[in-house]
Amino acid sequence: MSEHSGDTGHVVPVSTYVLVFLALMAGTALTTGVAYIDLGRWNTVVALTIAVTKMMLVVLFFMHVKYATGLTRIVILAGFFWLGIMITLTCSDELTRVWEINSAGWGGIIPFLLHLF
Amino acid sequence: MAAHGADKHPPGFAHQFEDMAQQKEASTLGMWAFLVTEILFFGGMFTAYTIYRELHFESFVTGSHLLEVKFGATNTYVLICSSLTMALAIRSAQTGKRKGQIIFWLILTMILGALFLGLKLRFEWYRDYVDGIVPGISWAYNGPHAPGVQMFMCFYFFMTGVHALHMVAGLGILTVLVIMTARNKFSPEYYAPLEISGLYWHFVDIVWIFLFALLYLIGGRY
Amino acid sequence: MSTATVDIHDHPAESRVNYLNANYGIKSWLLTTDHKRIGLLYLGTITFMFLIGGTAAALMRLNLVEPQGALLEPETYNKMFSTHGIVMVFFFLVPSIPATLGNFLIPMMIGARDVAFPKLNLMSWYLFITGCAFALVAILSGGVDTGWTFYPPYSSLYSHTPVVIMALGVFIAGFSSILTGLNFVVTIHKMRAPGMTWFRLPLFIWALYATSLIFILGTPVIAITLFLLGLERLLHVGIFDPAIGGDPLLFQHLFWFYSHPAVYIMILPSMGVVSELITAFSRKKIFGYSFVAFSSLAIAVISFIVWGHHMFVTGQSIYAGLVFSVLSFLVAIPSAVKVFNWTATLYKGSISYQAPMLYALGFIGLFTMGGLTGLFLASLATDVHLNGTYFVVAHFHYIMVGGALMGYLGGIHFWWPKITGRLYPDMWARVAAVIVFVGFNLTFFPQFIVGYLGMPRRYAVYPAEFQVLNVMSSAGASVLAVGYIIPLVYLTWSMRYGPEAGRNPWGAAGLEWTTPSPPPTENFEVPPIVTEDAYNYPIKQPRDYPNAPGVARV
Amino acid sequence: MAAAWAMIPIQPPAASSIAEGVDKLYYLLTGITLFFTVLIFSIIFYFMVKYRRRSEDEVAPETHTSMVLELSWTIIPSLICVVLFVWASALYVRNSRPPTASTEIFVIGKQWMWHIQHPEGPREIDELHVPVGVPIKVTATSQDVIHDFYIPAFRVKKDVLPGRYTSLWFQPTETGTFHLFCAQYCGTSHSQMIGWVYVMEPKDYADWLAGGEKTESMAQQGERLFTQFGCDSCHVSDGTGRGPSLAGVYGKPEQLAGGETRVVDESLIRQAILVPNSIHVPGRQPIMPTYQGQLNEEQILQLIAYVKSLGSQERNAK
């Protein structure tokens, strides 16, 4: 038979839900406010960090992953891992095309490879 | 191991399973696997967005400033409220509350979902149409970075459009849940349809959280 | 395998209630939630699609007999190879083994009554035929001419054919794949019989588990990509449009993120089938069970990080080229491990050569060649010359036809007695297997050479110096066609006139052989409890193959 | 019979300096493929005969998984793959870097023909004349869909993309006539988008260039466009205009806003003409208007040739 484990029927107290809800509302207010402050490149970092935090709150409490089995967590992580593969390897092409022309920085790897062989 | 063929099956039990616990685990795992496909479905657009944002940064900032933060933020609040009401609807079923209470939370969730779509349509998409910043349908933008801004607006409409389609599907699912609740289908032993529909609803909420950050707040609004 | 003692001397199939005669009428099929019947619905559908794709291929090969085109206008030829590619990839090969044999066998092999979500399973089939219907509408309204790859900007802004309808068909069929994969993953995780631990699973299950992971993780990306392409075509502006700074290569990245793993959707289930066939017909435990099992998972994971080798000459960054090249070589290793383990399984076996085994051995040979010629394309310097030529066409046909299709035919022949309760004439089946093997090599081996000579693919007309090799290839294709038609005839014949098969005509191990043929609706008379590893040859229960081909009748 | 086999071609002409290296690797790969195919087939045949089932009740003896075998057929293929990767990649990197003193040719692909332009002025359609023994760099773009510039005899191939430049290079080693193919499906007449490459002795090539009708060089045509579109009103050569002087910029690294440094090449000049405000040079206002839609691909190439000629004049002066 299959592995029966984990407490999928965990009842989360209403107070937890309300606290998470308030945190999410506060997070939204915060991220909107920060957008009006000039942080340069850091604006994006802050906006994404807050978005990821909000996502974690929703996933862990509203979606009960805090109380879920290891299998559920692996499934979720796999989803994000594969999204990471897609973004990383696509960027490895799209964002390095100008490197070929630019001999500085990583572009220097080509003469290096030529030397090697 | 629960013996198959026990005389009395709880309501909602499907014959291919051994017991309710196995059935519930299966449906939860199934829903999570489906959400993984959704991550990658939206992920295709997020990948494209990431790359173009890097390549056409200035255009994307200019395009982003055509959107109004107040509507994006309001809609974020609305969706977070709907997530709370959804969670409370499931909790009511879990703890065996009267069906009236479950239906109350479900309908409140639907109202909030409909409010989101209404705001989006009336105050954003319709105005964009009037202002001529809908690529391919009504395009009259003449400002700086015109090609890149058009690209940004393509992303804006494709991403929020696909998200809105998911909201509409969610409203359909909620309607079915209300009917099922009214017909006394759920009990503290069997509420898996509520639970997994909740997962879907929260997922759609999460997608919006990212869309709000990426489309409205990108590169700051100062 | 079952500890319960079951009288294996079944009454004739007609007098027993089984999944085929449990109820009758068209409605009992169209509304069925029985995984076995759904498998057969798929079998019928994909056979029909195979005939369409095969007809397109036949017309192409006929046209290429003469350099100036023997039959078709270039425009028609372009539609033919597009139809062939789209139908064969999305509507035949991707669903072939998973949706037919997988649906039929997964619950039986793990000792379950059905898949986890039977209604969802039926919905998958309805989605699939809806996708097929869209594809047929597109074909009947003239056909698309984009190639199966749908590269923009040709497909989005230049083609004058019903691209949106065809893309929609593929999009819908994609959702069918997603739901099938999801169903399989949950079934394998949650529905295994008592005692059926992960390492007692037949390797077919491991292979389909790996395949299902690709369905779940890859298919959504092709869905959204084709969706964006359709929008671009409808709105005349979109994210792949170079006029507004879009990058057509981004489409190729997203397309191959799914479509390269899709090759492994086709080949992994075949590898699973071959693991079953090799063990059954040499009566041996598989050599290196865990290596074969984990190599399936390794292939599934690695398949997602190699897609850039389709783009070495497209203007992709040289750095990405280097990364994708080294990753592409990685996939050779688990593939090699599988081939060597199958070969080693034969060592000291008791090998018999019934038709399924001939297909399995043919698979190993052709897959070896297909895999090794892949090295030419993973190597950057040679890929520059060979990419986009007939060498690539030959290479992927060795994998997708020599590999995937041989495995599919082998599997159909192996489990046919279980599915229908009938035996087919083994002699005809052996003849057909040999014809397929010979015809296949005649068709595709010359294409390696003509590709190295520089003949680009998708050419309706070509320089005269390539004619000899093209004529050879077309001649081989006609042999191959005969090899495909013969099984269609005798398998259909056997459904009515074949002798009763009994439970286990091959003397094979595995839960599916412990139940009557055809199986009862709930698969097993007594829910099985598993106490042994897979492939525990010699099987301990009495063998039952009175009518088996090649066996002396008492 | 032997004569019939001889009719089957098995090798394309090898007529560039790149071909030899590629062919060597090809033969190595063919050797590896043959070796393993023969190995697997022979083992299978041997087992098929030796261990064929002799009686229906035959019981196969149990054999156990051998870690040594498993490891060896994991590690040996891995080592072969490492060697192949290193060899193929080194060759590829070398084959993708044109020698600095290459002669340039410009190619525009459109459905369904190849427009080829020599810097000296002559234009050709579906024909390419080149001198033997000289490295030649091809810079290509497309007016519509994706094409692919493929010369099998030289073992070179590159996609030709709309909105972007790609390039390849080759050095012909033999005179003769060779196929030019489009190797990326581009629509109805894809298979007729083919042409010929004529490799000539340098003297014959010079005669060919001089013959035919007299045309201005690409740089001269670009200079006229430079005036016609009013580029010279801002880009004044002494640097006093509203835009920077373009003298000598080609090939020099330019510091851009955000700390990025890019060498001024064909792609950057193209970007500057079509999407000027995507390039920020510190201390300059983004006032240049876009010329998208006003210039065709050929004119852009001519302008680039002109800008490049300014650079070489400056270098010559030094």
What pTM does this model have? Answer: 0.93
| Sequence-ordered list of residues with C-beta below 8 angstroms from that of C126, at least 6 positions apart, any chain | none
**D11-39+68-215 belongs to which homologous superfamily?**
Cupredoxins -  blue copper proteins (2.60.40.420)
pLDDT exceeds cutoff 90 at C290: yes
CA distance D90 to chain A (A): 7
Domain that holds residue B145: 23-216
What is the DSSP secondary structure assignment for residue D38, as one 8-state letter?
Answer: H
What is the DSSP secondary structure assignment for residue C530, as one 8-state letter?
Answer: -
**C30-514 belongs to which homologous superfamily?**
Cytochrome c oxidase-like, subunit I domain (1.20.210.10)
* Helices and strands (H, E) in chain B, number of each type: 7, 2
Residue carrying structure tokens 């594809």: C135
A to C CB pairs, distance under 8 Å: 60
Q: Evaluate whether ipTM surpasses 0.95.
A: no
DSSP-derived pairing of the beta strands D261-263 and D147-151: unpaired
* Least confident interval from B38-42, B60-64, D213-217, D311-315: D311-315
Name the β-bridge partners of D130.
Answer: D199
> Which pair of tokens denotes residue C209?
């588990």
Residue carrying structure tokens 């190639």: C147
Total number of domains in chain B: 1
What is the DSSP secondary structure assignment for residue C351, as one 8-state letter?
Answer: B
CB–CB contact A96 C317 (8 Å): yes
* Least confident interval from A99-103, C149-153, D140-144: A99-103
CA distance C41 to chain D (A): 36
Predicted local distance difference test score (pLDDT) of residue C544 = 47
Predicted local distance difference test score (pLDDT) of residue D52 = 92
Q: How confident is the model at residue A113 (pLDDT cuts 50, 70, 90)?
A: low
Model pLDDT for residues A4-37, shown as the tens digit of each residue:
433 446 889 999 999 999 999 999 999 999 999 8
Predicted local distance difference test score (pLDDT) of residue D144 = 93
CA distance A49 to C369: 49
For residue B18, being part of any structural domain is answered with: no
CA distance D107 to D117: 6
- Closest listed residue to residue D183, CA positions, set B73, C96, C456: C456
Q: Which of D267, D274, D277 best probes binding to B when mutated, by most B CB atoms within 10 angstroms?
A: D277
CB–CB contact C182 B34 (8 Å): yes
Topology, domain D218-317 = Cytochrome Bc1 Complex; Chain D, domain 2 (1.10.760)
Phi, psi dihedral angles at D12 (to 5 degrees) = -75, 155
Residue carrying structure tokens 């920020």: D280
CB–CB contact D89 A101 (8 Å): no
Written as one string, the DSSP assignment of D105-137 is EEEEEETTEEEEE-TTS-EEESEEEEETTS-EE
Model pLDDT for residues A33-57, shown as the tens digit of each residue:
999 988 887 888 899 999 999 999 9
Q: Which of A63, A69, A89, A92 best probes binding to B when mutated, by most B CB atoms within 10 angstroms?
A: A63
Contact C178, C220 (CB under 8 A): yes
Average pLDDT for chain A: 83
pLDDT exceeds cutoff 50 at B6: no
C17 vs D32, higher pLDDT: D32
pLDDT exceeds cutoff 50 at C75: yes
Name the β-bridge partners of D200.
Answer: D131
Contact C58, C84 (CB under 8 A): no
* A99: closest chain D residue by CA: D262
Contact B107, A28 (CB under 8 A): no
Name the β-bridge partners of D115.
Answer: D108, D125
> In chain D, where are the structural domains located?
11-39+68-215, 218-317
* Strand blocks (E) in C259-314: none
pLDDT along chain D (318 residues), means of 10: 69 94 96 96 94 86 86 94 93 87 92 93 93 95 96 96 93 96 96 96 92 82 90 83 84 76 84 83 80 88 89 50
Residue range A67-80: average pLDDT? 93
Residue range A73-84: average pLDDT? 95
Helix, strand, coil proportions of chain C in percent (round to 5)? 70, 0, 30
Residues in B touching A96 (Cβ below 8 Å): none
Of the candidates A29, A39, A71, the beta carbon closest to that of B29 is on A71
CB–CB contact A102 D253 (8 Å): yes
Written as one string, the DSSP assignment of B124-184 is IIHHHHHHTEETTTEE---STTHHHHHHHHHHHHHHHHHHHHHHHHHHHHHHHHHHHHHTT
pLDDT exceeds cutoff 50 at C551: no
Helix, strand, coil proportions of chain A in percent (round to 5)? 75, 0, 25
CB–CB contact A71 C189 (8 Å): yes
DSSP-derived pairing of the beta strands B133-134 and D261-263: unpaired
Hey, how many other C-beta atoms are within 10 angstroms of the C-beta on D141? 25
Model pLDDT for residues C493-516, shown as the tens digit of each residue:
999 999 998 888 998 988 999 899
In Å, the largest CA–CA distance within chain A is 67
The one-letter amino acid at C244:
I
Written as one string, the DSSP assignment of C436-478 is HHHHHHHHHHHHHHHHHHTPBSS-SS--GGGHHHHHHHHHHHH
Predicted local distance difference test score (pLDDT) of residue C334 = 95
Of the candidates C115, C189, C254, the beta carbon closest to that of B44 is on C254
B199 in reach of chain C (CB within 8 A) = no
* Number of residues assigned to chain C: 554
Q: Which of B58, B149, B151, B152 best probes binding to D when mutated, by most D CB atoms within 10 angstroms?
A: B58
> Which pair of tokens denotes residue B18?
């051994």
Contact C150, C229 (CB under 8 A): yes
* Helices and strands (H, E) in chain A, number of each type: 4, 0
* Strand blocks (E) in C144-235: none
Predicted local distance difference test score (pLDDT) of residue D4 = 63
- Closest listed residue to residue A99, CA positions, set D96, D99, D282: D96
Predicted local distance difference test score (pLDDT) of residue D236 = 85
D interface with A, Cβ–Cβ < 8 A, is 86, 89-90, 93-94, 97, 253, 261-263, 265, 267-268
**Measured between alpha carbons, how far is residue D165 from residues B201, C154, C234, C297, D141 in Å?**
46, 18, 28, 40, 5
Please identify among residues 59-118 of chain C the ones whose CB lies closer than 8 Å to any CB of chain B. Answer: 112-118
Average pLDDT for chain C: 92
